[in-house]
A = this chain, B = another copy of it.
């Protein structure tokens, strides 16, 4: 546990980072953020966590709402967002689209304003359809900016991407903060091998944003990132370009292979996880858009049949043994498809999952702090000063 002196030192270090562009801005994709901005997000997350451990209040809002818009069911993300808002003093209000009948277009503009009169942040998860999620978030951001400029809204709510079709920044940032802590500092990541690999799951159509988020972020830290998947399970080519460019700049590498074994060989970190091929996701979006639900069922059947060819893409003890010292850090965004536990054949062997249960939960535990940090940095021009104020005021979270 970090004491107050350590927290003060962390705040001091934060001062060296340029975060002005985050102020009154949104957080969509990690690759749109500068290195300083990424570092600052980690720093603020760690400071907020240390403050909470020391029972120091991080309440910066006396009142205000955090609006959550989830376009499909979600427990984990819902609670992470609620936790982040609560920690800062915002009350969560869920916008349930099933009851409120929001659609795209003009209606987005109207609803975004109607729910934002007291909103300081809007968190959106919309990951189901390629080409839609990010577009929707941009629409909402544009709408509330207009509302603010026109004097309709007293404040400009900041948007946090809680998962879109392209990136899953709160996940990948929590993942990486876990990695940083696991390896004892960001300076120790250079040269580490990361295997982001596809794995078999009995369900089809899992979003691409997790692997894309990981390759788009992990490549910035000088690591050797390998993406492995069966033929046809490609991710979005634009994001592979981002990853390659990142690797070039950071002195790491980005490669793609078609074998789980090759990816695992000597890896320091493994992230085996199912996803749908980009091309399938595109077809699916088209079919849903056209209301062709019979064809949709056919697509699902075809996909599951194809998936079934790759049941051997499972994170087994044998594969784990081939990693660096047999001790790679196993990662997952949870929930995992565990063979013999949550399904007959899945992404990971039960014994592997069980061995990494505590690290997996720790990985997840960073997410509320990452979200809170994103909000914090969007709300304060001088985040270090505000954190100092909080630490010196030392208001107790529990009296």
Chain A residues with CB under 8 Å of chain B are 49, 52-53, 57-65, 73, 75-76, 78-80, 82-83, 86-87, 89, 91-93, 95, 99-102, 106-107, 110-111, 113-115, 117-118, 120, 147, 150-154, 334-335, 338, 341-342, 358, 361-362, 364-365, 367-368, 379, 386, 389-390, 395-399
Contacts and interface: CB of A to CB of B under 8 A. Distances in A.
Given A60-B398, A113-B361, 10 more contacts: A61-B399, A62-B397, A62-B398, A73-B99, A75-B100, A75-B111, A75-B115, A78-B93, A147-B361, A153-B365
Contacts of A64: 86, 397-398
20 contacts: A49-B154, A57-B63, A59-B62, A61-B399, A63-B89, A65-B82, A73-B99, A75-B114, A76-B115, A83-B118, A86-B118, A92-B93, A106-B338, A107-B335, A114-B361, A117-B364, A117-B367, A117-B368, A152-B361, A152-B364
Closest 8 CB pairs of A and B: A75-B100, A83-B118, A152-B361, A57-B62, A79-B115, A150-B358, A73-B99, A76-B114
A100 B73 contact: yes
Contact of A399 (B52, B152, B389, B398): B389
Contacts of A91: 82, 86, 91-92
A118 B61 contact: no
B63 A87 contact: yes
**Number of this chain's copies in the complex:** 3
A114 B368 CA distance: 10
Nearest to A397: B62
A379 B365 contact: no
Contacts of A82: 65, 91, 93, 118
A64 B398 CA distance: 9
A110 B91 CA distance: 25
A389 B79 CA distance: 32
Nearest to A341: B106
A20 to B, nearest CB: 18
Contacts of A101: 73, 75
A61 B397 contact: yes
Contacts of A334: 110, 114
B93 A79 contact: yes
Contacts of A79: 93, 95, 114-115, 117
A386 B396 CA distance: 13
Nearest to A76: B114
Contacts of A59: 62-63
